Structure 1
């Protein structure tokens, strides 16, 4: 059974590093959660290392700019590991071919920025679906539209044997007060239709490997027993931590706020019923990160 805590400081001295989700934990896409940002600052001041591990379909420099724009303090973290970086490396290695059909919004075009760490990268060309060898999906063109609107295109792509590279495995995200669809919902639809989707963000191993490399590059690599994963997504943050055999802290006041009736704390019975239904077992739970 998960242990409900009131503040990160109750457990933080057990860990040398935190792998922390961004959306729903540190900010809501519009404003920062000041108590969460301050908790990260205090943890770093005590000697801990904070890696923001996000399913954002963009490279870390782009995410850092977004954090600055939102108002998340730069001294709240040490580095960033993104699903976009892991997926970009796969794309430039030719995972879905050189001619790709892009699904996403204009700001997601940073996904195609050069990646200099890949030797002899594939030259990527964005083309119409009928000319494509594969699909790059950073998210819906309209995040409020039903993913089913992509069914016709996906049927054609499946028949042509195209692979879909999913740059963000999240299903939904809350932007302010509005819930939006993410690339993971489109990839799930494609898979259900019989297509092949490739994933690189949480809960899949590549992004955790990247986060560990980011930690090592800071000269602060540590044992897995001293790493705590924090997030509000049971199917991404918590399931991913379990797959990596890492401890996790579930933020019940994020995506599952209604199901767990989280105010300052979740309702214990509803929380345990929710976790059992989702078949996850975070070591700790907190209403909001603080």
Structure 2
């Protein structure tokens, strides 16, 4: 698809599918909202795979891909909708393995601990740690970055590297927007701290996902045959643009209010006005992922 400052408004994936061999699809905000699965989205990916395409789910979840797969099972997202899952948790685990002789301090809730499973990790306080892994807020419904200010100052004083296991700033949970690890990481970076971002919009997760897709397809896949689908300008769309692949923005995600997606059909002029204000632009926008209108 040719790059344009005026993304096409499309009613379904069917209109784009023939141009691509591989889809890199976001999970939260596209396939589910943390409460309910989006059945038409899964059906669209199944149709794409039935036509010979491959689908790799690319998530900023701070957990291994297998763990995300189990979560999708719980939402009743069929496994036929995708071929593989690559997560920022997978890349975080690689970063941990590279530092396996170091002491780590973890910031985040207990549900993210599977990223350490089976590894001889040594945990410690900030005063003892060689680096920090941040997977999110302990309580993302009540806490803000201010709750972590003291920790961030102590980390900065020791010049500790933070590995951010989820670069998302926010995510939609049901109809509520909650903060993610990226919010804490950004605050630390703005203080002068060193941060390694394990997921989108940074290149390593795309390198890994496309390599997985090529292996599944049994051949190299040119970038112009890859489509990224997601609901976030800062991660999904910026990551695709930076990597040189096309993208499809799903309006009914974290930008739903800005795009007035919950007020009825997308209004072309309002969408274009909003896109004009964004630092990066998708090649196409759809209301919610589906195969056809």
Whether TM exceeds 0.5 here: the answer is yes
Structure 2 residue 82 is matched with structure 1 residue 77: yes
Aligned residue pairs total 282
Structure 2 residue 146 is matched with structure 1 residue 141: no
Q: Shift of the alpha carbon at 1:130? A: 2.0
User: In structure 2, how many angstroms separate the alpha carbons of the residues matched to 1:84 and 1:101?
Assistant: 16
Tell me the SS of whatever aligns to 1:11: helix
User: In structure 2, how many angstroms separate the alpha carbons of the residues matched to 1:74 and 1:232?
Assistant: 21
Structure 2 residue 199 is matched with structure 1 residue 226: no
Aligned residue runs from structure 1 range 1-290, under 5 A: 1-94=6-99, 98-114=102-118, 123-144=120-141, 145-218=143-216, 219-263=218-262, 265-290=265-290
Measured against aligned partners, the alpha-carbon deviations of 1:101-145 in whole angstroms (never above 9, x if no partner) come to 101111100010237xxxxxxx52111222111110011111121
Q: Shift of the alpha carbon at 1:146? A: 0.9
TM-score after normalising by structure 2: 0.93
Q: Shift of the alpha carbon at 1:280? A: 1.3
User: In structure 2, how many angstroms separate the alpha carbons of the residues matched to 1:100 and 1:44?
Assistant: 40
User: In structure 2, how many angstroms separate the alpha carbons of the residues matched to 1:208 and 1:14?
Assistant: 19
| Contact 2:177-2:254 within 8 A present in 1 as well | no
Q: Shift of the alpha carbon at 1:220? A: 4.8
TM-score after normalising by structure 1: 0.94
Measured against aligned partners, the alpha-carbon deviations of 1:165-221 in whole angstroms (never above 9, x if no partner) come to 000000001111221110000000111111111112000001001101211231254
User: In structure 2, how many angstroms separate the alpha carbons of the residues matched to 1:202 and 1:62?
Assistant: 18
Q: Shift of the alpha carbon at 1:287? A: 0.6
Q: Shift of the alpha carbon at 1:282? A: 0.6
Tell me the SS of whatever aligns to 2:33: coil
Measured against aligned partners, the alpha-carbon deviations of 1:77-115 in whole angstroms (never above 9, x if no partner) come to 0001111111211121129x7111101111100010237
User: In structure 1, how many angstroms separate the alpha carbons of the residues matched to 2:193 and 2:181?
Assistant: 15
User: In structure 2, how many angstroms separate the alpha carbons of the residues matched to 1:126 and 1:268?
Assistant: 52
User: In structure 1, how many angstroms separate the alpha carbons of the residues matched to 2:275 and 2:132?
Assistant: 34
Q: Shift of the alpha carbon at 1:6? A: 0.4
Which is bigger in relative contact order (C-alpha 8 A, separation at least 6)? 2
User: In structure 1, how many angstroms separate the alpha carbons of the residues matched to 2:14 and 2:131?
Assistant: 46
Tell me the SS of whatever aligns to 1:278: coil
Runs of 4+ in structure 1 off by over 3 angstroms are none
User: In structure 2, how many angstroms separate the alpha carbons of the residues matched to 1:80 and 1:71?
Assistant: 16
Q: Shift of the alpha carbon at 1:277? A: 2.1
Closer, same or farther: CA 49–265 of 1 in aligned 2, 3 Å? farther
RMSD: 1.4
